[in-house]
Chains A and B, each alone.
Chain A
Amino acid sequence: MAVAKEIRSKITSVQKTKKITRAMELVAASKMRKAQDRMSVSRPYAEKMLQVISHLANAHPEYHHPYLISREVKRVGIIVISTDRGLCGGLNTNLFKQVLIQAKAWEDEGKALDFCLLGSKAGGFFKRHGGNIIATTTHLGDEPVLADVIGVVKIMLDAFDNGEIDALHICYNRFINTMKQQPVVQQLLPLVPASIEKQQHHWDYIYEPDSTVLLDSLLKRYIETEVLQAVIENIASEQAARMVAMKSATDNAGQIIEDLKLVYNKARQAAITQEIAEIVSGADAV
């Protein structure tokens, strides 16, 4: 019965794996729900801010903030948001592919690239393949706060202010639904005209202190918020992808267990049959 024993231990080990993947699936599901809630919580802040910014931009056509002016692009800054942990299907792979396709297109146009990486997976990938990395941060956790992204955003904004980069893009996985996450490349700077809506004004704010100073700090906050929003959306995508991956892993484990049980029972039956045959033939001989 040596074969049967081997199969039995194999079954036990697969059963244990199944328990783990099942637990991971449930954890991912609950984390995904939390991340989705956070996505909707921070949206009003960004929306209000954009509303005020577009008002300011429209009310003061004589003041052009550098963030609102398109200039000739020689260098592009890209913020890549990846996950910290694996076991989430093809999420990061698809994102990096999207980034590379876009980066290649830029490079072919003669634009140089600066990378800013969030999450250890992006760090690992670009470390292997090169690329000019000017800022990274990892281990943002499941509940990232604004303070986590201030550092990297400041580096990119400073680079934009100093003319080191002429455009800033952000790449992350957009959460569409549990089954679908879409890698997107979105332009942050200069703020595209579409997001600054044209409106007719018959009134203006009283500004304290100065409208330009306010616009400055509002724009900076707005970019930070957008990055944080992208990070949160990426986390929701990560958890959704992990949930699906772990669900299919659990299903697979169940399938394997069934198959193994079949093999085990066959082996057991064969052993019994053989034993009976031996006894019968032994009895015949006597």
Chain B
Amino acid sequence: MTFYVDVDIVSAEAHIFSGKAQMLFASGELGEMGVSFGHAQLLTSLKPGYVRLRKQDGNDEIFYISGGFLEVQPEHITVLADVAERAADLDEAAALEAKKQAQKLLEGKQAQLDYAVALMELARASAQLRAIQALKRKTVF
């Protein structure tokens, strides 16, 4: 008799797979592994590559993931998949870009937040909105 294990593959952007499977194959941080029903609790990070599922009918389904985590419970496996390619230098580049944009925004501006002026502008904006609301039922002409 074969036992089936519940598998969920989720990412931050999409729900990728949910269902029962005989076995799950993935490339963990320390090597390839196959996980089936009754495996001890395990937590590992995954390398970019394939996650292969042997489903109930014996057919394989393959998902490509760009890294992530694998959480194993005896009756349940969760793959927390990364959606974006992750590498220290890629992250660094993205951070630099965000910093550059901020500097561009700050050019020639004082760094001290002027609360009085800012709050006044907001008050004006919401007053305008209220006025529009009030005008709604009234005839303009």
Binding site for B on A (CB under 8 A): 38, 41-42, 44-46, 48-49, 52, 56, 89-90, 93-94, 96-97, 100, 103-104, 107, 113, 116-117, 123, 125-138, 145-147, 150-152, 154-155, 158, 203-209, 211, 213-214, 217-218, 221, 224-225, 228-229, 248, 251-252, 255-256, 259-260, 263
Minimum CB distance partner of B138 in chain A: A255
Instruction: For the complex, give the distance between the alpha carbons of A89 and B132 in Å.
Output: 10
Binding site for A on B (CB under 8 A): 8, 10-15, 28-30, 40-45, 69, 71, 78, 80, 82-84, 91-99, 101-102, 105-106, 109-115, 117-119, 121-122, 125-126, 129, 133, 135-136, 139-141
User: Of the candidates A41, A134, A138, A252, which one forms a contact with B14 in the assembled complex, judged by CB atoms under 8 Å apart?
Assistant: A41
The minimal Cβ–Cβ distance linking A19 to chain B, given in whole angstroms, is 19
The minimal Cβ–Cβ distance linking B92 to chain A, given in whole angstroms, is 8
Residues of A within 8 A of B105 (CB): 117, 123, 126-127, 133, 136
Check A44 against B15 for contact (C-beta < 8 Å): yes
Minimum CB distance partner of B30 in chain A: A208
Instruction: For the complex, give the distance between the alpha carbons of A217 and B47 in Å.
Output: 13
Check B13 against A134 for contact (C-beta < 8 Å): no
The minimal Cβ–Cβ distance linking B140 to chain A, given in whole angstroms, is 6
Residues of A within 8 A of B139 (CB): 255, 259
Check B94 against A151 for contact (C-beta < 8 Å): yes
Residues of B within 8 A of A42 (CB): 11-14
Residues of B within 8 A of A137 (CB): 97-98, 101
* Chain B interface main SS type: mixed
Check B136 against A252 for contact (C-beta < 8 Å): yes
Instruction: For the complex, give the distance between the alpha carbons of A213 and B29 in Å.
Output: 11
Instruction: For the complex, give the distance between the alpha carbons of A217 and B43 in Å.
Output: 12
Check A217 against B45 for contact (C-beta < 8 Å): yes
- Given contact pairs A52-B71, A125-B118, a sample of 19 additional A-B residue pairs in the complex whose CB atoms are under 8 Å apart: A44-B10, A48-B71, A49-B80, A52-B69, A93-B126, A93-B129, A107-B113, A129-B113, A145-B84, A146-B83, A151-B91, A151-B97, A151-B98, A152-B98, A154-B98, A205-B43, A225-B12, A255-B136, A255-B140
Residue in B78, B101, B113 whose Cβ sees the most chain A Cβ within 10 Å: B113
Minimum CB distance partner of B95 in chain A: A154
Residues of A within 8 A of B135 (CB): 252
Residues of A within 8 A of B42 (CB): 205-208
Residues of A within 8 A of B96 (CB): 151
Residues of B within 8 A of A251 (CB): 136
Contact A209:B13 (CB < 8 A) given known A132-B111, A134-B102, A259-B139: no
Residues of A within 8 A of B44 (CB): 207-209, 214
CB-defined A-B contacts under 8 Å, sample of 9: A52-B80, A126-B113, A135-B95, A135-B98, A145-B13, A154-B94, A206-B43, A248-B136, A256-B141
